[in-house]
Chain A
């Protein structure tokens, strides 16, 4: 049990330490595609250090929600890290405390607090961004639900550690249409939930067009750092669910020895970098959708996930 807890802590350390790096690589690669030099891949770490050492200001009329929200946003991805296989392919201490649905619900908590804090911050743009994020969230919800239905139909479980083993034993499962279509739908959901093009432009500075970013406008100092950090970790955690649970459950440590865990950390980092490159391709080749076209993007994701379920129900 002690080893199990130690490994859980290692997983948290992995997410905590490397998330800003993945964000940095994403930003850098996007700039490189546009023939610019771009900031160093370690820039997110510097940003966080700067923000953590700055003074914090809060809007005069705001309540406790505005002050607590950054901590919730920061803690939630770390909580989910306890439930999912980040580095090991055997269940850890908290593995059976919650399944993928639970992970979805816990993410919803941070979304709720972020929304409330944005409205609480008394910035008009904050409330606008909050309502837009809710719109994207509502439209993404059915896709997530259908995707999880499909997972539970196919693998007879929604515990990530069990689902993970299902896709590759036997290998024919990997090519099952429900699996591939599920991956497409889930990838679209990752783009929508983490505010990437084509749903939202993460590097946009025009408040009227913002979806996700404008919620964080009023945060400063330590709160801003926590919100930013939470955003980086949310992407990493979703990427880990996508890669380790749904796509490629290879390269994980099968024993608890430090060498195996270190090797797994390297392998998982490489996988996440590969996903980041895929996101760079999507972000560089598509334009941001108009606000009311987002419904069509997520409608397409819904069609894909329902098709995944239907082809599985056929028992081909």
Chain B
């Protein structure tokens, strides 16, 4: 259950840490993967063993329900088990669906980026390959076959282009909203060269905007220098996806 970590403030942090330690069921993990996949701009690593375990659990539960029905178990109990199955099946379906939709959107980019390609399951790779064939055929029939040779690529604008300049890519610079599961200190917040910049924060409490300002600006406006960010358990921040990606992969931050 996520109840502990779902409190929106730092006051519950000790509790949060405790909760994360004692209870991470596959149902929690599946929910987390689903949320992250839905909110991340790019496709994430396929959670193959989690998916496998979840499917096994669903099947086991379906068999249990079957037995209950045959043995004349109380219909109320049966329906509660059924609802639990329905919820897990929904998460699983929605998780897989979200991934396919990302593949549909970024197929060419995924295909030519080895790291992304390796994140797909075997079945997803097959899906991606076929999707690409379908799309290439369609683009060729509709447009490219009608253009001169020099302009026939669906990846490049013309033979002059040095790079693939017609491929849709996910925006890794995009801001995402994330919540920390436990204290995360010294978050690298920006990969841009910070020259002559100081950090400052504005506001206090739960609503703080962190900005960079040039040093020469009037200093009286600052509430103090703020270097890389500290996040306490349960804190929610809008941050650039690229800067926190490893923390999502390691499970320290959740996208919400």
A binds B: no
A-binding residues in B (CB < 8 A):
none
